[in-house]
Amino acid sequence: MVKHHTVDIGGLKVGADFPPRVMGVINLSTESFYRDSIVDSNEQLVKAINGMEQDGADIIDVGGASTAPRGVYGTPEVTAEVELERVTSNLEFIIRNTNVPVSIDTVRSEVAEAALDFGVSLVNDVSGLARDKRMAKLVADRGVPIVLMANCGGLCQTLNASFRSVERSINTALSVGIPLERIIIDPGIGFGKPSEVDLEIIRKLGRFCSLGHPVLVGVSRKAFIGDLLNQPDPSMRLTGTIAATSIAVANGADLVRTHDVEEGKIAAEVGKALRGVPAESESRKSGE
């Protein structure tokens, strides 16, 4: 039987028998594909943070450079200097104004290191440790958990390719001393994949769950929903996002990353009920 690990993110327990958690997104990147998620002032940051906390966010994910695929959205490349400036000029304020753990969404070790110095609790690396060779050692040395996303060095054209990519990233993490109990995996919905592959991954999410690590899924307003429902504008994709989120949680997702926390929380609750997970005590819900 596969042992399912629990990961501690700044006191928040994720995985195993704990309820599915909701990760709210704060984009400091003006090039992000969903314009309504961008915040560029302290006033907007406070409003976004307070709104997410009131809506039930368990963790807030902060990004200083968009990872949306250039081929789909024409996303421009952001230099390390620009990403670092965006993160360092805002992260202290964000952490000071929130009561939930904060993660940093980056593929660059210098950005992750600066964010860890400010007190973030999780590194979310969409390259799966493939982009920056220093990242794995940094995470190991700092003793923080990491999200490893499927990254095939190009497009993951099949579910099998995504799965093998996650396995490689896990092996890389273990080889530098990141323990099993600090690894979360992400099958990488979107990121230029064919829409039918995204749909297959959600249908067969159990294969990724079989690796024993908590599984993060990010379907929020992504292109496969637009393709399926003929909705080219991401602002139109909320209903499809809610449906896909519920199904992903029903199929085993432990953590969902979303631009819409209130709706994501509701969708996760429905998905949990469909999965047949019994109600947890209040202490378990809080991760204590």
Alpha helices in the chain (DSSP H): 42-55, 70-73, 80-88, 91-96, 109-118, 135-142, 159-175, 195-203, 206-209, 223-229, 238-250, 261-275, 282-285
Amino acid in position 157: Q
Find all residues with CB under 8 Å of 140, minimum gap 6, and list them. 173, 176, 177, 178
Amino acid in position 62: V
Which residue of the set 222, 237, 265, 272 is catalytic?
222
Tokens of 227: 């393709």
- Are 157 and 165 spatial neighbours (Cβ–Cβ below 8 Å)? no
- Are 104 and 83 spatial neighbours (Cβ–Cβ below 8 Å)? no
CA 173 – CA 114 distance, rounded (Å):
20
Q: Is 222 a catalytic residue?
A: yes
Within 10 Å of residue 17's Cβ, how many Cβ atoms? 11
Distance of CA 90 to the CA centre of its chain: 20
Amino acid in position 58: D
CA 6 – CA 145 distance, rounded (Å):
11
Tokens of 5: 């690990």
Which residue of the set 108, 193, 257, 272 is catalytic?
257
- Are 212 and 19 spatial neighbours (Cβ–Cβ below 8 Å)? no
Find all residues with CB under 8 Å of 264, minimum gap 6, and list them. 22, 24, 220, 241, 242, 245, 256, 258
Q: Is 257 a catalytic residue?
A: yes
The residues annotated with a catalytic role in the active site are 222, 257
